[in-house]
Structure 1
């Protein structure tokens, strides 16, 4: 079983864009394209206090994955809320250059700088977002208030399944859709080995104030996969020094199946900052 690819295709086949935002006029949603160098990234934001809440999607889905959570959260907090489309996703442009996790992180940072929130935010991400979050935390730890990993596909889990080489050896990228999303995913997948190695080799991972939300029902077929997935989340939670939160009844797509768990955790985190 190719874990990365399985989660990507699960996301593509099951994801439907969330409903449009329905917000109070005082919490107006704004969308802007920001030049981050080689390309433009699309950001959606609700202005507010710091720290901002910044959402990072997993593979195969754009920023609309967070719409329902953003709408609910905006009625509970006064903090700024930000979602964005990674390069090639949604309304963001697809670069001509190969995928590079350092470049991806720099793109987000440049966008947040232009929005005025790069120096203080809570970083929330699902699945593959774990890699971007780990890299951002290692490079710019002083700008982060917290990390919230949602059902992450961790380095430890991949190692327990035989390593990244095992994941990649039978990938058939021709199965991806022949559109901009497919091209973005191809680019992302072609960079997976380097992405994995870069994060695995990080010496200074952000562990000051991080939290893990784990799906109660991992989408794996074997008992070993399920055991190792849950063990990796428990280990990461222990390193963070926080209690593992289990999204009851949820499969991997926690943002869709258990949005209330995410909202509750974020409100709790903000109340203690």
Structure 2
């Protein structure tokens, strides 16, 4: 492998943000609000619904047991397809709070958000972050909720990996997907993985000094098997039978690195060219945090996908 060029601080920060797969505000370790907040109450130890019957249009919490740990699913019941919103690395279901009621009101569909292990109200699982375990949690939760067909996956950033594995394993359950500036297989070449790992190292070293902090715990878990996990992901394929709309932010996660920003765009374009039922749209003026910067745009794209499914 060729020797990597030194990275500017700005470029290093941009690269490390994606390497940590929790790009929401520019610097992944800038999660002080979550870290300093009072700890959340432990989720109830039950696979049944954890809340009383919710009024129409309101979200209802369900705690689902998945391989010995509790995963929180928030369900706004409707009809027709089920829209599953999956936030990027380091973010929990609350990331979609502004979008859920609008989607439900406009489409009438059931809308589900959930907290991946160690986030929100879901219990943490020791060890490295494992995309297949995340897929298992999602599948277990949806099955327990009776959602086994006509799923529309909407996935941001790191959740693109969960969506890819889930769709590949369950192509008959997923009727369509919207990938929002998501991690896509073509991006993770050996060269790019090496750049990401190198750029992450300073933040990783700092995180290991306080491994109990939630943001640091997520970083350490993600970094632990980053290289082999993403070498494997680079070889993954999205099923041709599942239509997908790909939203790419104008600024990309690499606003400080033109080279990597172009690689991100090229990866999205390459992914879309692989099948005729894929489209590529750009969220102009947006950072990687598209659901926050351009919520109307994201809602519009999801609603188009729902409408196309009939």
Q: Which category of TM-score, normalised to the shorter sequence, fits these structures?
A: 0.7 to 0.9
SS of residue paired to 2:138: helix
Verify the 8 A CA contact 2:92 2:115 in the aligned structure 1: yes
**Higher relative helix content:** 1
Contact 2:248 2:281 in 1 (8 A): yes
Matches of 2:251 and 2:300, distance apart in 1: 20
Matched, 1:166 2:195: yes
Once the two structures are superposed, residues 8-28 of structure 1 have per-residue CA deviations (whole angstroms, 9 ceiling, x without a partner) of 3626437989xxxxxx94212
**1:221 maps to what in 2?**
256
SS of the equivalent of 1:232 reads helix
Match of 1:270 in 2: 306
Q: 1:205 aligns with which of 221, 238, 257?
A: 238
Q: Are 1:51 and 1:117, in contact at CA under 8 Å, matched by a contact in 2?
A: no
1:194 Cα offset (Å): 3.2
More displaced, 206-215 or 75-84? Answer: 206-215
Per-residue deviation, residues 33-85 of structure 1 (Å, max 9, x unmatched): 11011211111111122320001111121111111111211110111100011
User: 1:97-117: CA deviations, max 9, x gaps?
Assistant: 443221111111000111111
Aligned to 2:160: 130
Structure 1 residues 185, 91: CA separation in 2 closer, same or farther (over 3 Å shift)? farther
- Superposition TM-score, scaled by structure 2 size: 0.78
Q: Contact conserved, 2:78 with 2:104, CA < 8 A, in 1? A: no
Secondary structure (helix, strand or coil) at the match of 1:95 reads coil
Q: CA RMSD in A?
A: 2.4
CA 1:260/1:73 → structure 2, altered by over 3 Å: closer, same or farther?
same
Larger Rg: 2
Partner residue in 2 for 1:121: 151
Q: Distance in 2 between matches of 1:232 and 1:98?
A: 26
Cα drift, residue 32 of structure 1 = 1.8
Shift of 1:174: 4.0
Q: CA deviation at 1:206?
A: 2.0
User: 1:11-160, aligned counterparts within 5 Å?
Assistant: 12=28, 13=30, 25-159=55-189
Mapping for residues 187-206 of structure 1, pairs under 5 Å: 187-202=221-236, 204-206=237-239
In structure 2, list runs of 5 or more residues that go unmatched: 1-11, 35-53
- In the alignment, the residues of structure 1 paired with residue 288 and residue 126 of structure 2 have an alpha-carbon distance, to the nearest angstrom, of 31
Which TM-score applies when normalising by structure 1? 0.87
> What is the count of residue pairs matched by the alignment?
265
Looking at structure 2, the residues matched to 104 and 84 of structure 1 have their Cα atoms a distance apart, in angstroms, of 11
1:7 CA drift (Å): 5.5
Q: Where do 5+ consecutive residues of structure 1 fail to align?
A: 18-23
